[in-house]
Amino acid sequence: MKGASSSRSTALAQLDKYGSIAAFALLIIAFSAISEHFRAGSNYMNIIVQAAPLMIIALGVNFINMAGESDLSLGGVIGVCASLFCGLIGKGASPLAAAAVAVAAGLAFAAVDGLMVAYAGLSSFIVTISIMFLSMGVEMTYSKGASLWIRDNPILVIVNGSILGVPNLVVIALALFAASYILMHKTKLGVHVQAVGQSTDAARYAGIPIKRLKFLMFLLGGLFYALGGMLNSLRSSGSIIYSGQKLLLPALAITFIGKTVLGSKKSNVPGILVGALMMSAINNAFTMLGVSFYFTTIVQGLVLLIAAGFSVGNRKTILQEDLR
Amino acid sequence: MGNNYLLEFKDICKRFPGVRALSNVSLGIRKGEIHALMGANGAGKSTLIKILARVYSQDGGEILLDGKDISRATTETIRDLGVEFIFQELELVQDFSAAQNILIGVEPTKGLVIDRNRMLREAQAAMDAFMPETVDVSSSVSSLSVAKQQMVCIVRALYRDPKILVLDEPTSRLSATETEALFAAIRRLRRERGITVIYISHRMEDIYAICDRVSILRDGEMVGSYALEELSRQDIVYKMVGEDIASPSRGRVAGARAQEGKPKLSVAGLCLERHLRDVSFDVYPGEVFVLTGSVGSQKTELIESIIGIRKADRGTVRIDGKEVRLQGAGSAKSAGICLVPEDRRRNGVIYDFAVRSNSSLAFLSRWTGALGAISRKREKADTEKMADFLSIKTASVETLVKTLSGGNQQKVVIAKWLLGDSTVYFFDEPTVGIDVKGKSEIYEIIKTLSSQGKAIVVATSDIEEAMRIGDRIAVMFEGGIQGIVDSDEADKQRMTYLAMGGRQ
């Protein structure tokens, strides 16, 4: 009896650990079987390129999640960064200067989030949803509701080009992924952030500066939103109003898919890679299958819900831990 | 005595809403001594220690370390002053490895990156120095037993080479060999590094095995500090409990009727991994059955397993001879069972609700009319009657519960369950943090309930209290019942012996 139950629990643990990766593989196989457009060789690279900006943004939220907070502000902040970037280039600013302004804007909003949440102790949900609407207003005010296009700028060629057949966007995204992985999983800082996110008491015991780390994670998030927002606009040659809104739901879905990867049920960096590819593949497949784009948010909402369900830890353990 | 104290508490005062936790507590700790801090539950030991740890800040008084006031320190900086704590709550990151937890905050790095191999090596060495071949530090903390998690906490504190080490009930989760390893480590550190230790425990054995001096707190006041050889065990118990309850009143109403008829509640063979080992007992209508035992004896866990808040691995619970499978407070309520929980601040009352709404919360449907609306008039009348019956000291039933004293808050919790007409009542530490007068009022309520034929189970760490209110007393030790004693035959020494793991 005991043997049976323990082999069952190891099977469950394996499912926990690799279930979402297996689900990802199954999705790819299924989509490839159904659609010849999906299985076309170049489409796979398309999926990866489409995933790149989204993954960078999800890496940004993930920093904040790993510190035990949530962030919805990206829904507006990304739009501000992208429209500033595109608008300034349109007015003749150098891409570098425009990027500096966009990053500064991302950091500024993040600093407000961070101060309110980490230092003033407000709920991150409320603070960041306020900042989302506030920044959407800023974007609207700046762009006057118009789309801001970039035309004939060398930066378009650079970012959308490729090295040795690998698109530059993918190179940039992978570099940021690697840096995030090392920072969050290999350095003292990252491990301390994880401790803060998982057990504030234990972190406090260890003398870890909880407020400072949370604040820092918001800043990093703001930086990645700005980077992701700019790259996203370069991919589509301009910033369309409220572009951040469209990325909010997929980005949150990615973070929840990410939690289900590796079975820890905790926010982690590798999970973001899997989640971003999965979201991108789903979006791509729907386009290839000719499903109406009206339908896309419904599916994204469902994916978020399912991933959130799977990311909840084993109920029995939670109960016993909580009771201690 | 001269002022040769390494650490000195001066006139520390601390109030919580409705509870006076510490009043003018002064205490001096000498360098290199192992100083026991004792007191009944709720006497203020943990509060005092948490003020030292800066988890709470005191309302008055100061703490001097090497003559310097440390009130400015925070939870984050107090350890920089060389003070380490091992609290009752295991403050570990569950998903981290033991090694990560031991070296948290002081991880060795190679460049910017944590040197994982060196971390494992150092953590394993520290662990083995404490007790060889027990914990593989690369395993995640969540996979370790509670005892091993406790050892990880201990090793983490020792690794930092503290000047002062504060241990709050460190052995409640440890076996005899593990306890011996802890004592050996403490003795070695004192010999080699002159470490100073503040040791909080209920276990007399521990206190006499390792401590030099003892300070005793009672109801938030310092009774005094003594060299341990000056005091016998009885002296300590006497000073902890005080004179008020020295001669327990034996006016139990139900005593004679106890154990007549069929048992109301039968628990048989209850097991819960790491917590309970084969617990069986019966409670009869009109009987007050007391579970006693020190911290770590798993009284709360037993009650929670009966109610179904925890899922027992084995065993049965019967009500009136019929087996029931309870799933928590809700299903217990329908079965006529109620629990007055241990931590009233967290589980018992809603602070910002009035006495009326707190009391009526559990059985609101009693006062609902045809459309499901609550009849405020009847609700108010009934809660007023109950408040009267329990003599809850409140201006009116519309007063907010947070403004009441601890004892009156506890009565509100009791009111809530009395309004439901249950037949089995569980009280988990019903008098913790309540003054002497409040205590005796709660004893009266329990007596009245038993005279109405209710079956009552009271969990209490206070042996005096157990003897005062119980018809029969089950003494628990590490998740098992060591013996069940009729209160007429109960004597304190025998019960203390059982509570420390002795056999009947």
Query: Is residue B171 a contact partner of residue B210, using CB atoms and an 8 Å limit?
Result: no
Cβ within 8 Å of residue B214, ≥6 positions away? B35, B36, B37, B38, B207, B225, B226, B228, B231, B236
Apex CA B213: angle with CA B207 and CA B219, to 5°? Answer: 80
Name the band, by pLDDT with cuts 50, 70 and 90, for residue B436: low
Per-residue pLDDT, B260? 64
Task: Give the tens place of pLDDT for each residue, A147-176.
Answer: 899 888 888 988 888 888 899 999 999 999
- R_g of chain A computed on alpha carbons: 20
Q: Quick check: A204 and B90 CB within 8 A? A: no
Separation in Å, CA of A254 to nearest CA in chain B: 22
SS3 B156: helix
Q: How many helices (H) and strands (E) does chain B have?
A: 15, 22
Task: Tell me the pairing of strands B19-30 and B5-16.
Answer: antiparallel
Nearest to B95 among A188, A205, A264 (CB): A264
- Looking at residue B237, what is its pLDDT? 76
Closest CA to A146 of A242, A245, A246: A242
The C-alpha torsion from B136 through B141 and B142 to B145, rounded to 10°, is 60
What integer pLDDT is reported at residue B349 of this predicted model? 80
> Pairing mode, if any, of strands B221-227 and B472-477?
unpaired
pLDDT at A82: 96
pLDDT of residue A121: 92
Separation of alpha carbons B419 and B378, rounded Å: 12
Chain B interface residues (partner A, CB cutoff 8 A): 75-77, 79-80, 85, 89-96, 100-101, 104-105, 107, 109, 112-114, 142, 304, 309-311
Strand order across the B314-319 sheet: B276-283, B265-272, B314-319, B322-324
Chain B residue numbers touching A267 (CB-CB < 8 A): none
**Which stretch of B33-37, B239-243, B393-397 has the lowest confidence by average pLDDT?**
B239-243
Cβ of B377: how many Cβ atoms within 10 Å? 9
Which chain A residues are Cβ-neighbours of B85 within 8 angstroms?
205
pLDDT digits (tens, 9 = 90+) for B362-384: 888 788 877 778 888 888 888 89
Please give the residue that has the higher pLDDT: either B20 or B13.
Answer: B13
Q: What does residue A192 show for φ and ψ, rounded to 5 degrees?
A: -65, -40
B435 vs A221 pLDDT, higher one: A221
What ranges make up the beta strands (E) of B120-206? Answer: 164-168, 196-200
B496 — pLDDT class (breaks 50, 70, 90): confident
Average pLDDT over residues B189-204: 88
Do B20 and B212 touch, CB atoms closer than 8 A? no
Domains and CATH numbers, chain B: 253-336+422-504 (3.40.50.300), 346-421 (no CATH)
Name the residue facing A188 among B76, B79, B109 (closest C-beta): B109
| pLDDT score recorded for residue B3 | 62
DSSP structural state of residue A313:
P
CB contact under 8 A, B80 and A207: yes
Return d(Cα B92, Cα B157) in angstroms, integer.
Answer: 12
- Give the phi and the psi of residue B361 in degrees, each rounded to 5: -55, -45
Is A204 in contact with B92 (Cβ distance < 8 A)? Answer: no
Determine the distance in angstroms separating the CA of A114 from the nearest CA of chain B, rounded to an integer: 20
Indicate yes or no: CB of A202 within 8 angstroms of CB of B91: yes
How many angstroms separate the CA atoms of A205 and B168, rounded? 14
**A264·B100 Cβ contact <8 A:** no
> In whole angstroms, what is the distance from residue B68 CA to residue A292 CA?
72
Interchain CB distance below 8 Å, B100 and A191: yes
Chain segment B267-325, per-residue pLDDT in tens = 999 998 878 989 999 999 999 999 998 767 888 889 999 988 888 889 999 999 899 88
Can you tell me the distance from the alpha carbon of B193 to that of B32, in angstroms, rounded to the nearest whole number? 9
Residue B87: band (very low, low, confident or very high) from pLDDT cuts 50, 70, 90: confident
- Chain A's closest residue to B80, CA to CA, is A207
Torsion angle in degrees (nearest 10) through CA of B178, B182, B188, B191: -150
ipTM higher than threshold 0.85: no
Amino acid B441: pLDDT: 82
Sign (positive or negative) of CA dihedral B460, B463, B467, B471: positive
A214 pLDDT more than 50? yes
3-class SS of residue B116: helix
Per-residue pLDDT at B120: 95
Q: How far apart are CA B387 and CA B395, in angstroms?
A: 11
A120 versus B368: which is more confidently predicted? Answer: A120
Q: Is A265 left (phi over 0), alpha (psi -120 to 50) or beta?
A: left
What per-residue confidence (pLDDT) applies to B239? 82
Q: Which of A198, A204, A210 sits opposite B95 (nearest CB)?
A: A198
- Judge whether B475 and B499 are in contact, CB under 8 Å: yes
H/E segment holding residue B332: helix B329-334
Q: Taking the CA of residue B146 as centre, how many other CA atoms within 13 Å lie in the half-sphere pointing to its CB? A: 18
User: What is the pairing mode between strands B276-283 and B288-292?
Assistant: unpaired
CB atoms within 10 A of CB B312: 23
**Per-residue model confidence as pLDDT tens digits over A3-14:** 444 555 566 667
- B44/B21 Cα distance (integer angstroms): 6
Percent of chain B with pLDDT strictly greater than 70: 91
Highest mean pLDDT among A259-268, B265-274, B487-496: B265-274
Q: What are phi and psi of A307, to 5 degrees?
A: -60, -40
CB atoms within 10 A of CB B336: 18
Tell whether the model's pLDDT for residue B470 goes beyond 50.
yes
pLDDT above 80 for A263? no
pLDDT at B406: 74
Mean pLDDT of B342-347: 67
Residue A203 and residue A291: Cα distance in Å, rounded? Answer: 48
Torsion sign (Cα): B407, B408, B412, B414: positive
Rg (CA), chain B: 24
Q: Is the pLDDT of residue B1 over 50?
A: no
**CA nearest to B328 within chain A:** A319
pLDDT at position B198 is 96
Beta carbons of A186 and B113 less than 8 Å apart: yes
pLDDT of res. B78: 86
**Residue A268 φ/ψ, nearest 5 degrees:** -150, 160
Determine the Cα–Cα distance for residues B477 and B291; give it in Å rounded to an integer.
Answer: 10
What was the pLDDT predicted at B253?
A: 39
CB contact under 8 A, B310 and A323: yes
Give pLDDT tens digits for B69-81: 988 888 878 888 9
Per-residue pLDDT of B91-114, as tens digits, reads 899 889 999 999 998 899 998 899
Angle between helices A95-114 and A210-235 (to 10 degrees): 140
pTM: 0.74
> What span, in angstroms and rounded, lies between the C-alpha atoms of B461 and B296?
10
Q: What is the pLDDT of residues B17-66, one digit of tens each?
A: 656 789 999 999 999 999 999 887 667 888 899 899 888 889 999 999 99
Neighbours of B478 (CB within 10 A): 17
Segment A280-292 mean pLDDT: 86
pLDDT value, residue A4 = 46
What are A's interface residues with B at a Cβ cutoff of 8 A?
182, 186-188, 191-192, 194-195, 198-199, 201-210, 264, 266, 316-317, 319-321, 323-324
Q: Is B5 helix (H, G, I), strand (E, B) or coil?
A: strand
State whether B105 and A208 contact (CB < 8 Å).
yes
The predicted pLDDT at position A199 comes to: 86
Which of A31 and B348 is assigned the larger pLDDT?
A31
Structure tokens at B414: 């009791």
Helix (H) or strand (E) holding B399: none
The rounded distance, in Å, linking the Cα atoms of B300 and B476 is 11
Structure tokens at B408: 């009156």
> Distance between CA atoms of B291 and B281, rounded to whole angstroms?
10
CATH class of A18-312: mainly alpha
Chain B residues lying within 8 Å of A205, measured CB to CB: 75, 85, 91, 104
